[in-house]
Structure 1
Amino acid sequence: MTAFEPQSIRSYSQEDVQQILHLAIARQADDKDREFSYEQLLEIAAELEISPDSLKLAERDWLVQQGQVQQRKAFDTYRKRRFQKRLGNYAIVNGFLILVNLITGGGISWSLYILVFCGLPVGLDIWNTFQIKGEEYEMAFQRWNRKHQIKKSISTVLNKWFKALQA
C-alpha cells in the first residue's frame, strides 16, 4: 500500500489496527504520567465500537496479566537476593581460607584449589539466577509461586483464627 492511495481503498487487518492505534496513543501521550479515567476509557471504547462487556473482560484479563508480571518481578528479585547472599557467603569463606593460607604458609597454595572448586557452583548459580527464560525458569517460578501462595493462605487463615480468638 502506498501513501497516495485514496482513503476509501485502504483496509487494515485487526492486528494492523491495533499496532497503528498503539503507536498513535503513544505519540499523543507525551507525558508518561498522564492517566485516563475509567470514563475516558469507556468513551474511547465506545468510539471504537467496543462493548462495555468486552471492555470489562479485557480489563480483567489485563489485571490478571499485571498480577503475573508483578509476581515474576518479585520472583526475580527473590532469586537475585538469594544469589547475592550465596555470593557473599562464598566470598567470606574463601577470603577467610586465603587469609589462613597466607598466615600459615606464607602464600596461596591449597586455598586456591578450594576457591576454584567452590567457584564452580557459584558459576552455575549465576547461570541459573540470571537466565529468565526457558523450562527450568518456569519450573522454578511455579515452585516458588506455589510456596508463596501456600504461605499466603496459611497466613490468612491464621490471621482470621487469631481475630476470632480475640473477639
Structure 2
Amino acid sequence: MTAFESNSLRSYSQEEVQQILQRAIARQTDDGAHEFSYQQIIEIAAELQISSEAVKQAECDWILQKSDVHQRKAFNLYRQRKFKKRLGNYGIINGFLILINLLGGTGLTWSLYILLFSGLAIVLDIWNTFQSKGEEYEHAFQKWNRKHQVKQTINTVLNQWFKAFQTY
C-alpha cells in the first residue's frame, strides 16, 4: 500500500482492526494510568456499531478468562512451592545417607546409587512441575481447582455459620 492511496480504498480484516485500535489506545494513554468507565466502553462500542449485549458478553468472557489466568498462576505457584519442599527433602535425605556412608569408612559406595536414582526422580519432578501444557497439566489443574473451590465453599459456609452463631 502506497502512502498516496486514499483512505476510502483501505480495508482491514477484523483482526487487523483489533490490533490497530489496541495500539492506538495504548499510545493515547502514555502514562498507563488512564482508565475507561463502563459507560465509555459502551459509547465506543456504539460508535463501532457493536451492541451493548455483545459488550456485556465480551466483558463476562474477559472476566472468566482473567479468573482462569489468576487460578493458573496460583496453581503454578502451588506446584513450585511443593517442588521446593520435595527438593529440600531429597537434599536432606541424600545428605544423611552420604554422611552414613562416609562414616562407615568405606568411602562413597552404595550412597552414590541412591543419589543417582533420587537425582533421576528430581529431574522427573522438575519436568512435571514446570511443564505447563498438555493433558497431564490440565488434569492436575482441574483436580487442584476443584479441591480449591471446595475449600473456599466450606470456608464461606463456616464463616457465615460463625457470624450467625455470634449474633445469638
Fold in common (TM above 0.5): yes
The within-5 A match list for 1:40-55 is: 40-55=40-55
Taking a change above 3 Å as real, the CA distance of residues 144 and 105 of structure 1, as seen in their structure-2 partners, is same
Residue 116 of structure 1 aligns to a residue whose secondary structure is helix
Residue 106 of structure 1: CA displacement?
Answer: 5.4
- Equivalent pairs, count: 167
**C-alpha deviations, 1:70-100, integer Å up to 9, x for none?**
0000000000000000001001111111122
Aligned to 2:89: 89
Instruction: Determine the C-alpha separation between the residues in 1 that align with 2:102 and 2:130.
Output: 34
Amino acid of the residue matched to residue 120 of structure 1? L
Question: Could you list the runs of 5+ residues in structure 1 that have no partner in the other structure?
Answer: none
Residue 60 of structure 1: CA displacement?
Answer: 1.6
Instruction: Determine the C-alpha separation between the residues in 2 that align with 1:146 and 1:137.
Output: 14
- Using the aligned pairs only, state the percent identity: 68
Question: Could you list the runs of 5+ residues in structure 2 that have no partner in the other structure?
Answer: none
**Range with bigger deviation, 134-143 or 156-165:** 156-165
Give the RMSD, CA atoms, in angstroms: 1.8
Instruction: Determine the C-alpha separation between the residues in 2 that align with 1:3 and 1:143.
Output: 55
**C-alpha deviations, 1:16-39, integer Å up to 9, x for none?**
211211122223333234333334
Residue 35 of structure 1 aligns to a residue whose secondary structure is coil
Aligned to 1:30: 30
**C-alpha deviations, 1:39-92, integer Å up to 9, x for none?**
433332233232333222211211111111100000000000000000010011
Work out whether 1:57 is the aligned partner of 2:57. yes
Instruction: Determine the C-alpha separation between the residues in 2 that align with 1:17 and 1:153.
Output: 42
Work out whether 1:114 is the aligned partner of 2:119. no
